[in-house]
Amino acid sequence: MPRPRKKRRREVKRVPRSDAMLPEFDRRACPEGLVTRRQLREEGLSPGGHGPVAVLRCKACTFLPDQACIHPTRAWLYNVDLARPKRTPTLAQEHSLDRAMAARQTCPQCRRRYYFCLPLKTLGSCLECHDGTPADPSTYIAPPAKHLLAA
Ligand SMILES: [Zn+2]
Ligand SMILES: [Zn+2]
């Protein structure tokens, strides 16, 4: 005799929509001015210290308008008006960065600037000045060292 099949229902966690949560919008009915993080980035913007203001519901939830979307495929929506431009380093910041790198890459004895950081703490100079190991001319800029910008 066949054993009675165990009834096993897939448990579906359902949360009714409520005002306590962030407003939710379906993909087609998303109001203007609300964009996802990726859309912000494409415009060169960042959330500007503001959290998401709404939820973009996942595709499956389009057919369950009275349920809250709690699925990982939902997306956070940000307010474009609160967004700020992404920070990019200024030329002055880049110059100070270059100065810091120059200090670590320039040999105090021969004044060559290498493309790598020198063991200044242990040897105090480049290898060539330390024990005569000839340095590859393609690994340094002969003095006076020019400034290298990161970008
Ligand atoms: Zn959903
Ligand atoms: Zn040197």
Give the 3-state secondary structure of the chain: CCCCCCCCCCCCCCCECCCCCCCEECHHHCCCCEEEHHHHHHCCEECCCCCCCEEECCHHHHHCCCECCCCCCCEEEEEHHHCEECCCCCHHHHHHHHHHHHHHHECCCCCCEECCCCCCCCCCCCHHHHHCCCCCHHHEECCCCCCCCCC
pLDDT score at 39? 92
Residues 104, 80: one domain? no
Q: How far is the CA of 144 from the centre of ligand 1 (A)?
A: 63
pLDDT score at 16? 83
132 in any annotated domain: yes
What is the pTM assigned to this prediction?
0.50
Q: How far is the CA of 14 from the centre of ligand 2 (A)?
A: 70
Name the stretches of the chain with pLDDT < 50: none
Residues 98, 77: one domain? no
Ligand nearest to the CA of 61: 1
Ligand nearest to the CA of 67: 1
pLDDT digits (tens, 9 = 90+) for 77-121: 999 999 998 877 788 888 998 999 999 999 999 999 999 999 999
Residues 66, 106: one domain? no
Indicate the residue among 53, 69, 85 that finishes a domain. 85
Ligand nearest to the CA of 71: 1
Q: How far is the CA of 147 from the centre of ligand 2 (A)?
A: 18
Which residue segment(s) compose the domain that 55 sits in? 24-85
Q: How far is the CA of 122 from the centre of ligand 2 (A)?
A: 14
Q: How far is the CA of 66 from the centre of ligand 1 (A)?
A: 11
Ligand nearest to the CA of 25: 1
Side-chain half-sphere exposure of 44, counting CA atoms within 13 A: 3
Q: How far is the CA of 111 from the centre of ligand 2 (A)?
A: 6
Q: How far is the CA of 138 from the centre of ligand 2 (A)?
A: 14
Q: How far is the CA of 29 from the centre of ligand 1 (A)?
A: 15
54 in any annotated domain: yes
29 in any annotated domain: yes
